[in-house]
Structure 1
């Protein structure tokens, strides 16, 4: 969020996600993204064909990557069977189960899902007999990602050099202390960052059952308890994963505090004109009135 006199307009923890998405597009290009999308849909189409052939009713005719099956009264049984086979399905309600394919889906997962529904299918035969079901009216025909950068880096070496070139234009921890940012990663040691690449962290689905995420639960609980102990707070939440989200969480807590004390009229939030662009936006989202304070 750009503010004229702000000394910073980038929320590091959030822009990192944009950088990842952007570089993913740079590396794969339009043809690569199309290939990933078509493969994803192809697996969903074969999965759907196998379920339908096995007598399982699907609730939609057109789909891209996600299917919903109607299994009257058997949703819990199907989900449990899939989980036993190493696959998590989504229980919509007692009668419906949803499942999604992505670029990591393989044939073993399709077989496991069919088995959870009590279906046996021949993948090779279904692959040969199944047509894609994407509606022609939804297929994109115009040119996109036409900038040369989306067509220039297809090898690992080329991509690596391009990323290094961009990094050389930036100011980061390997050059000095980062001077600003509530959410900036000012000092994360390599040993701390290395663990992010572990599958136990990186491959955990956000909707996975809690009993499959006990490592995360322990890590979060212990960190919250230790931070509360050293700061003297009654409770600490590390749910906000960026400075902007932390602002909003804090302002919502402030607003709730005032309301709990009968001071609901206290809604003014003073924001310096040089403050980060998200500050004012967070205050507005929290239902407060922003009053800008001039700074030198």
Structure 2
């Protein structure tokens, strides 16, 4: 006689609804269980990104070497013609700006990864699986922040090689690096939102059109005081300029100074701008993610 069988609970992802959207997985009962679930799934998706980079290191290496090339070009090719406000070495003036530019260039990496997953249906597949709804975006953020740490380490080594250093102690220098990562965290949500909203990775050119003016219309390479009045005002209030100005102050590197509110409160603005950007784009990114395939 054959023993009766007991049906096991299915682990298959929930089927799509007739409208094309997916039924989200049920949440665990307790808050602690939900946090453990989200953390475990986020780390799994972070490892997915890290494994992709390990298998295709060429793209990552080129992305890390690009800002090094910019440093060498501006530091040695154009640097001899640059006057630092108040005097000082131009390469010491340049390096804090290049640290911040490395964070800004990361928007393109985030956008390309998110839009590619969305266009290929990978994101929809994640949404249909019994994983934490927040894990996809949190995993992406964690991986990109780790990438940014590596990028900062490469840029610090490059800066030391060209004669840059901090002069006001390690604690203030760590504060400056923290501001760079805070800026990167805020810009991550812009990249995630635009990646989810874009029609596909071919829209990367549009993101580059956004990133390059943001980077160059700042105090990264030249003082806003040398620009026409209206253009200098825009450069002063650029969120990137706040981070760069604050970092120069914390590092003890030459800066562009000035008596404007933005110049006198660079550290405060370097915190306020990323917080404001996160408050705007984090809910936009989450809402866009939840509305995929609807």
Question: Which TM bucket (shorter chain)?
Answer: under 0.3
Compute the TM-score of the two structures, normalised by the length of structure 2: 0.25
Q: Hey, which of these two has a bigger chunk of strand by percent?
A: 1
* Structure with higher RCO (Cα < 8 A, 6+ apart): 2
Compute the TM-score of the two structures, normalised by the length of structure 1: 0.25
Look at both structures and tell me which one has the larger radius of gyration over its CA atoms.
1
Q: Hey, which of these two has a bigger chunk of helix by percent?
A: 2
